[in-house]
Amino acid sequence: MVSAKIERRTYGQACNIARTLDLVGERWTLLLLRELSIGSRSYGQLEESLPGIGTNLLAARLKRLETDGLVERERAPGMRRRHIYRLTERGRMIEPVLIEMVRFGLRAGLPGDDSDYGRSTWAVLASRAVFRPDFAVGLDERYEFHVNDEVFHLGVRNGRPDNGSGPALDPVVTVEMSEETFDRVQTGAMKMAQGIWTGEIKVISGYAGALERCEQIFGG
């Protein structure tokens, strides 16, 4: 990985908003934290998820986040020169802010463009913003999604969202679909039952009816 010098900048204001921005307000930093809130990532995975950041800038942002105690790294199992990055306990404190930013974007109807880059795994964080606890009472189950080459899961544990990247532990249902199909499900243009009926969504294992609960819990 390319070494990078950390440039320290500060607003110099005795305000917690300003001091928070001193830590996370630089370009790309919040998006890096978004990726790591979904799950641990290698340097290459972060670079792939943030097209346009540039390797020098990515290295600088990661170094700054490590220095500030928001991110830590460890050796990837079985690989001497590869590191895995993850949020520290302090870094996890930013997650409610990210979730509120998702909610703001949904409520404000922020415009997008069809050419904008997107990843289906961003649903891991976005779904927490539309979580409906009334529909999750008494449930302890997970729903696993295979979307193109990405695997992630949504679910409920102890009345709270239990979402993450990678396979789920004992999922009640596992489904496979294209990214285009998943986008239609996310925007409400297609119900998952409809996708199963048309063949656009394939049930790999488990109980397809559980997807209706998934839609109710994370349907916004």
pLDDT of the residue at 1: 47
Q: What is the pLDDT of residues 154-175, one digit of tens each?
A: 999 999 999 999 999 999 999 9
Q: Are 159 and 133 in contact (CB under 8 A)?
A: yes
How far is the C-alpha of 197 from the C-alpha of 184, rounded, in Å? 15
- The CA–CA distances, whole Å, from 57 to 5, 40, 60 equal 10, 19, 5
* CATH class of the 120-217 domain in this structure: alpha beta
Q: Which of 150, 112, 125, 111 is nearest to 31 (CA)?
A: 125
Q: What is the pLDDT of residues 32-54, one digit of tens each?
A: 999 999 999 999 999 999 999 99
| CATH code linked to domain 16-108 | 1.10.10.10
Cα torsion at 116, 120, 121, 127 (round to 10°)?
100
Instruction: Write out the H or E segment, with its range, that includes residue 144.
Output: strand 141-147
Per domain, the residue ranges of the chain are: 16-108, 120-217
How far is the C-alpha of 151 from the C-alpha of 97, rounded, in Å? 25
As a whole number, the mean pLDDT across the chain is: 92
**Which one is predicted more confidently, 1 or 142?**
142
pLDDT of the residue at 2: 47
Kindly tell me if the per-residue pLDDT of 5 is higher than 60.
Answer: no
Q: What is the pLDDT of residues 69-86, one digit of tens each?
A: 999 999 877 666 788 999
pLDDT of the residue at 82: 82
| pTM of structure | 0.88
In the structure encoding, which two tokens stand for residue 207, read together? 């109980």
Residue 78 neighbours by CB distance under 10 Å: 6
Contacts 24+ apart (CB under 8 A), 5-11: 5/60, 6/60, 6/63, 6/64, 6/67, 7/60
Residue 181 CB-half CA count within 13 A:
20
In the structure encoding, which two tokens stand for residue 125, read together? 């964080």
